[in-house]
Amino acid sequence: MPCGSAQAVNANAEARLFNPARLARSPINQKLKPKGGIMARSRHYSPQLDRPLITALYHAAKARRIPMTRLASSLVREGLERIADPTSSETAFVREEPFTPPQPAQK
């Protein structure tokens, strides 16, 4: 069998293996679909978080025994609510003492 035909057979097998219609029907893809039926679209912005934040988020979610996405969603939701409706304690002014310059050291 010539080498070229083996490559063609491999290319055909690979094309069948990674066929989009076949992949859409695969059981693993059915499990990955969200329950609401809405899949993320590539045109939506998805920010990249810093690695230390991801690590802290992972450990916090693990300690609470909840998925990272649920914890991240609740943290973002709470942050946005605080931005939209600041409480009186967050907007209150802090009373400051008047500034007194330091005295020179006495010899």
Classify residue 63: in a domain, yes or no: yes
Classify residue 15: in a domain, yes or no: no
Classify residue 79: in a domain, yes or no: yes
Q: What does the pLDDT look like over 22-35, one tens digit per residue?
A: 666 655 555 555 55
Domain that holds residue 55: 50-83
Q: What does the pLDDT look like over 39-83, one tens digit per residue?
A: 656 677 788 889 999 999 999 999 999 999 999 999 999 988 888
CB 12 within 8 A of CB 6: no
Classify residue 57: in a domain, yes or no: yes
pTM: 0.42
Classify residue 54: in a domain, yes or no: yes
Choose among 32, 76, 77: nearest CA to 53. Answer: 76
Please report, in angstroms and rounded to a whole number, the separation of the first and last CA atoms in the chain: 100
C-alpha count within 13 angstroms, C-beta hemisphere, residue 10? 6
Choose among 78, 77, 81, 59: nearest CA to 68. Answer: 59
Domain count for the chain, please give it.
Answer: 1
Classify residue 1: in a domain, yes or no: no
Classify residue 61: in a domain, yes or no: yes
Classify residue 4: in a domain, yes or no: no
